Amino acid sequence: MSLPDPAFVITRSGLYAAVYGGRDSRYYHDGSALIGLNVREFMPHDQAVWLISEVEHTLAVGHLHIIEYPLSSHDINRLNGVGPAETLWFEARIKALPFQVGGEDAVLWVASNITARHRLETDLRRLSQTDGLTGLWNRRHFETIAHNEYRAAQQKGATLSVLMIDIDHFKRINDTLGHITGDKMLIAVAGILSDHLRDVDFASRWGGEEFVVLLPESSLVQSVAMAEHMRLAVSSFGFDGNTQLTISIGVASCEPARGLTSLSDLIAQADAALYRAKGDGRNCVRMGLPQMSDSHRSGAA
């Protein structure tokens, strides 16, 4: 049959009983070699369990079941490299058959290649969540992440820290060197901040020349140390025209023993610490918890 999309007959136990159509190797893997095999024979265990669960779910609900999933030739043994090597995305339309196959209930699984659509959706989602100049998360997406991380920290009794960061005298830079140079410096600072982040951390352009960094499970002492590393890295970076750039940073932490009542309180405390850093002469790090001793403060005014 020359169906545009591949259609698989799969039994409740996971037997690939038949496959029709979808033989265009530009878009699909040729699954004919899998006929007569159980999914457990050619798929990794977790993936086979997932596929069988989708079959069982379709048989249980009795109506059309639609899902999306990724797949590549590397995920399936016995294909011998036939078909695209990159990961493809599929939309499966699964329907219970009104008759048994080999004495088992079975479904018809029609897989439509939606890779192009999925890539477009991913690109659009990324563009809607990132700052167009620096590539960091934008403020709206950061706030969503931050609220989720704050709730998780409260539930686990874990520490959550925030860094509020401002480029010193940025208006003067724009006025004297121009906005193009200013944009280059924003990009460079964003790159330096990103280089110091762990995999679990999040950085965002907060607005203008201001940035915010979220540090899950990072104590106040650890967060101050990271902020100081960032400050030193920016001040020692060689910008165009030998222009020296510095940043001021405010740090606040929400720790189990002295938690704040809301995420907005945490950010406000870091923001207040940032303004104290700027008032102390800029190019320094200040903490948002006044009960901590001044000996923990770092940087020079």
**Bridge partners, residue 180, by sequence:** none
Residue 103 vs residues 9, 12, 138: alpha-carbon distances, Å:
13, 10, 56
Sheet holding 210-216, edge to edge: 202-207, 210-216, 160-167, 247-254, 284-287, 298-299
Q: How far apart are CA 68 and CA 265, in angstroms?
A: 40
Helix axes 115-129, 139-156, angle to 10 degrees: 90
> pLDDT tens digits, residue range 27-59?
556 677 789 999 999 888 999 999 999 999 999
**Dist. CA 168–CA 12, nearest whole Å:** 65
The vertex-211 CA angle with 209 and 212, nearest 5°, equals 160
Per-residue CA distances from 88 to 14, 102, 117 (Å): 22, 31, 11
Q: Where in the chain is the domain with CATH 3.30.70.270?
A: 130-299
Confidence band, pLDDT 50/70/90 cuts, at residue 301: very low
pLDDT for 85 equals 65
Mean pLDDT for 232-248 is 86
Q: What is the DSSP letter of 137?
A: B
Numbered ranges of CATH 3.30.450.20 in the chain: 7-122
Q: 130-299: which CATH number, 1.10.3720.10, 3.40.630.40, 3.20.20.70, 3.30.70.270?
A: 3.30.70.270
- Is a pLDDT exceeding 90 seen at residue 270? yes
Q: Which residue has the tokens 């001793």?
A: 293
Checking if the pLDDT of 294 tops 50, the result is no
Q: What is the mean pLDDT of the chain?
A: 87
d(CA 35, CA 185) in angstroms, rounded, equals: 59
What pLDDT score does 169 carry?
Answer: 93
Would the pTM count as exceeding 0.75?
no
Question: Tokens at residue 33, please?
Answer: 């070699």
Bridge partners for 38 per DSSP: 15
The pLDDT > 70 percentage for the chain reads: 85
Chain segment 55-95, per-residue pLDDT in tens: 999 999 999 999 999 987 666 765 555 556 678 899 999 99
Domain covering 7-122: architecture? 2-Layer Sandwich (3.30)
**Catalytic positions, please?**
209
**Could you tell me the two tokens for 50?**
């997932």
Give the pLDDT confidence score for residue 76 in this predicted structure. 73
| 251 or 262: which leads in pLDDT | 251
Q: CA 229 → CA 73, 196, 233, distances in Å?
A: 44, 8, 6
Beta bridge partner(s), residue 204: 137, 212
To the nearest 10°, the Cα dihedral for 280, 283, 284, 290? Answer: 40
Helix then strand then coil, in percent of the chain rounded to 5, is 45, 25, 35
